[in-house]
Amino acid sequence: MIIGVGTDLCQVQRMAQLLDDSTFLRRYFEQAEQAYILARGAFAAQSMAGHFAAKEAFVKALGTGFDGIRPEDIVIAHKPGGAPYYDLRQSALDAARLAGVRRAHLSITHDGGLAGAFCILEGECTPL
């Protein structure tokens, strides 16, 4: 059963302006994410925007916003072929479990100075 759907757009230029802000990087991105983003070179801002949009899409799908969820606990990782996926930690994992989430699907796209992300949460929920 689908528990929630979330989507978000992020301007790449906005992330380019924040790229050198270590406080922002530490607040929103876990260490492996920071390393991935910074290693992307000319595409760092694009990757950062995609990761940021993915985090926003997740909390929208959950229906909670970031209330009680630390952004760095919503880790965006990549499969060997490059496909992104959620690797939830602590506060994000607790919130997902509480909501009955069993699987989280993620798609990220980039075009025209924007990064977009789409999240679908599957699991069991209590009937209304």
Examine the pLDDT at 127 and tell me if it is beyond 60. no
Structure tokens that stand for 127 in this block: 């009937």
Query: What gap in Å lies between CA 17 and CA 1, rounded to an integer?
Result: 40
Report pLDDT for 21: 85
Report pLDDT for 124: 82
Give percent above pLDDT 90 in the chain: 93
CA 15 to chain centre: 14
Is residue 123 within 8 A of residue 3, CB to CB? The reply is yes
Report pLDDT for 32: 95
Query: What gap in Å lies between CA 72 and CA 78, rounded to an integer?
Result: 16
Structure tokens that stand for 2 in this block: 């689908």
Write down the mean pLDDT value for the chain.
95
List, for residues 6-48, the tens digit of each pLDDT value.
Answer: 999 999 999 999 998 889 999 999 999 999 999 999 999 999 9
Query: What gap in Å lies between CA 104 and CA 34, rounded to an integer?
Result: 22
List, for residues 83-119, the tens digit of each pLDDT value.
Answer: 999 999 999 999 999 999 999 999 999 999 999 999 9
Q: How confident is the model at residue 68 (pLDDT cuts 50, 70, 90)?
A: very high
pTM, full prediction: 0.94
Report pLDDT for 125: 67
Examine the pLDDT at 126 and tell me if it is beyond 80. no
